[in-house]
Structure 1
Amino acid sequence: MIKSLRSALLLATAVMAAVPTAVAPARASNLKATVSQAFQSMLYLPLYVALDDGLFAKAGLDVTKETAGAPSVALSAVISKSAQFSIHGPEWTAVAASKGAPVGIISNVVNGAAVWIVTAPGVAFKDVHDLKGQTVVSGLMPTTSTSLFLKLLKENGMSKDDVNLLQVQLGAEPGPLLAGQAKVGVMYEPGLDQVVAKGMKVVLGFPERYGPYAFSAVSARKDVDPAVAQAFVDGMEAALKLMQSRPEEAVAVAKKEFPTLDPAVVESAVKRMLADHVYPDGVDIAPAALNLALDTQIALGNLAAQPDYKGFVDRTFITKAMDIK
């Protein structure tokens, strides 16, 4: 995993070397920005709400969304200035910054460890030790779901050798479970509620276990246009506030963004992540939440040390966005 994560960030460093529900009144502006998301993901619903409900436009910003296909590629777009913002796990930005890339975090997106463990009917589960000897399907490393699962095993005096870990492409986790190739799964949404609808049971939730956890964030260059960055963070703050106050609108946007999924699964997934506080109340990122997320990567050897919070998280835009009434 260490080699994979470092290799994935090679592109980023190479490019660097080469180059509230209510928002403030709509501002007439020619400001434009591109945001590069790692994937089209239910986790990034706050971004889609901001786009679909015109909250960036109300903040005076015309935003174009692009999908990179990988966190390292999304971050590389920011470093090369082909995008102003990227959305993915903050660990990618921390590793790039540790190598000298002029990047940091400017907004929260997901503030809970959005991973759950499910088992097939009939599997007895009282604690983690009951997983010993089981075939466990999880995402292909490097990914946070599998990283958290390995961390969980370690915290309970176990290792990956105690289970038969079946790693598959992200999004493919439901397949082996439903086919009976595995009886335990480490899941993201919406895969989680897809298998729950088929009779699987949730036995452990990382959001409840860890509490506030900086799972996904908005990254930007240190020299990003302040006006553009402020408008983007204002839009994200408005989206997060709307999701909390009018969850039915968040569900409607999710159904629009994921039209091929069963609408009932989409609704269950959004409601679960709201109930489990996976989607934050606003754009703020607490030092403890960031430290916890990055400690996972440090424990796995992907990151040498915690970045300096004040230098890594630019609270200028966060504070101003939170002050909007």
Structure 2
Amino acid sequence: MTHPAKDPFPAAPAVLTRTRRQVLVGAGAAGFGALLGSLGSPAIAQGLKPVRISEAIHLGMYASVYAAVHGGYFRKHGLDVAVSSAGGIALAVPVVLSGNASFAITGAGMSVNATNEGAKLVNIAKIVGGVAMWAVAKPGTNIRKLEDFRGKTIATLRFPSSSIQTPTFAMKERGGFDPESAGVKFLQLPAGAQAQAVLDGRADVATMFEWDVSIAKQKFGLEPVFAFADIIGPLSWTTAIATKALVEKDPALVQAFCDAIAEAQAALQVDRELFLKASFAEFPQIDQAVIRAAADNLLTKSTAIPKNPTISKAEWDTNMAFEMAGGSVKSPRSYEEMVDNRFAERATAKFAAAKKSS
């Protein structure tokens, strides 16, 4: 929903100490409880507000969040943030609905599905602003346009992963053909198994996020042969989702969150070292050469990292078409109902003004 501007929200608490962050894969209520126990009360005593974020899975394209952590923007805006990976695109919103996180970072369609089942949610910020996905294949594979996917087997993650939704939407909405009718088969595999399926011939191509694209090139000699962002364009691919109750009860918290994301996104546009610093810290198991190679794909060859967190109606409508074509959303909902842009707009204006004055 969109609203007219209101009086300024209460200021976020002053920042007096550093942010602590823990990543817990597959955390539910018990995991978050343990996390809170480890954080203890010093953050409250020293002026920071503890905040829990549930991300779908741990992905390089969520760099806006990681930059806000490691660039100090969350703590600058008074928040002591802990991020936990829920373990799947459909799992982050239930963590918020259970009261074990304030914000979910996942596909916007998940907020629609939950709302269709009776939840009251809004999308408050754009985290990923484009389709950061590539088709990867053996060198010499002739896939340069959507028609070339006809009759091919595509290695993907398991439904409702965007690795299935993205090619499905692209073929239906941009290519004008149905994948099933065109003989396209999706080979759904666990994370990390897609490259091997291409190497051993079970699949012709694999659809991948970064870091997997750069890993596939460095480790397996595969190449990105098709960029879906080139034909799909901007959309609200991943958003920050909150309950309407939180927005009404604690607008200062929502504003502080959006301020931190907006400032981090603005910084990422001009400071590649921030991207590298945050990514090295978040993904110590990934070769730094892979992360450096992936930076081009995420920062310059796609709109994955937004310039600001606002969500436009056009982006929302494109995303709804994307989710419907991919099958992850059965009944769409309107931009006016599902997006509360006030906080992101305020944050964007604030940091645009700050940039002009600097």
TM-score, normalization by structure 1: 0.86
Q: Give 1:50-65 correspondences, 5 Å limit.
A: 50-65=68-83
Q: How many residues of Structure 1 are paired with residues of Structure 2 in the alignment?
A: 302
Q: Which residue of 1 aligns with 2:239?
A: 217
For residues 139 and 107 of structure 1, the distance between their equivalents in structure 2, rounded to whole angstroms, comes to 26
Q: 1:27 to 1:46 in 2, by over 3 A?
A: same
SS in 1 for 2:129: strand
2:346 corresponds to which letter in structure 1? K
For residues 186 and 269 of structure 2, the distance between their equivalents in structure 1, rounded to whole angstroms, comes to 36
2:253 corresponds to which letter in structure 1? V
For residues 307 and 173 of structure 1, the distance between their equivalents in structure 2, rounded to whole angstroms, comes to 33
Q: Is the 8 A contact 2:12 2:253 kept in 1?
A: no
Q: 1:185 to 1:25 in 2, by over 3 A?
A: same
SS in 2 for 1:130: helix
Q: 1:251 to 1:120 in 2, by over 3 A?
A: same
For residues 89 and 104 of structure 1, the distance between their equivalents in structure 2, rounded to whole angstroms, comes to 12
Tell whether 2:267 aligns with 1:280.
no
Q: Which residue of 2 aligns with 1:316?
A: 342
Per-residue CA deviation, residues 121-166 of structure 1 (Å, 9 max, x unaligned), is 2322343333333332112111112112122333342423513431
Q: Which residue of 1 aligns with 2:14?
A: 27
For structure 1, which runs of at least 5 residues remain unmatched after alignment?
1-23
For residues 74 and 157 of structure 1, the distance between their equivalents in structure 2, rounded to whole angstroms, comes to 32
Tell whether 2:168 aligns with 1:150.
yes
Q: Which residue of 2 aligns with 1:251?
A: 276
Q: 1:132 to 1:323 in 2, by over 3 A?
A: closer
Q: Which residue of 1 aligns with 2:197?
A: 176
For structure 2, which runs of at least 5 residues remain unmatched after alignment?
1-10, 16-46
SS in 2 for 1:214: coil
Q: 1:25 to 1:323 in 2, by over 3 A?
A: farther
Per-residue CA deviation, residues 58-92 of structure 1 (Å, 9 max, x unaligned), is 11112121221123332112112221101000000
Q: Which residue of 1 aligns with 2:208?
A: 187
For residues 272 and 281 of structure 2, the distance between their equivalents in structure 1, rounded to whole angstroms, comes to 14
Q: Which residue of 1 aligns with 2:5?
A: none
Q: Give 1:92-111 correspondences, 5 Å limit.
A: 92-111=110-129
Q: Is the 8 A contact 1:113 1:214 kept in 2?
A: no
Aligned pair partner of 1:130 in 148, 162, 167:
148
2:320 corresponds to which letter in structure 1? L
1:131 corresponds to which letter in structure 2? F
SS in 2 for 1:223: helix
Q: Is the 8 A contact 1:116 1:187 kept in 2?
A: yes
SS in 2 for 1:34: strand
Q: Is the 8 A contact 2:48 2:75 kept in 1?
A: no
Q: 1:73 to 1:264 in 2, by over 3 A?
A: same
Per-residue CA deviation, residues 246-303 of structure 1 (Å, 9 max, x unaligned), is 0122112112211111211111112211111211001111111111111122234543
Q: Which residue of 2 aligns with 1:270?
A: 295
Q: Which residue of 2 aligns with 1:160?
A: 180
Identity %: 28
Tell me how large the CA RMSD over aligned residues is. 2.0
Q: Which residue of 2 aligns with 1:85?
A: 103
SS in 2 for 1:66: strand
For residues 270 and 223 of structure 1, the distance between their equivalents in structure 2, rounded to whole angstroms, comes to 37
Q: Is the 8 A contact 1:105 1:312 kept in 2?
A: yes
Per-residue CA deviation, residues 175-217 of structure 1 (Å, 9 max, x unaligned), is 2123443331111111111122343232221112111111111
1:283 corresponds to which letter in structure 2? P
For residues 236 and 313 of structure 1, the distance between their equivalents in structure 2, rounded to whole angstroms, comes to 17
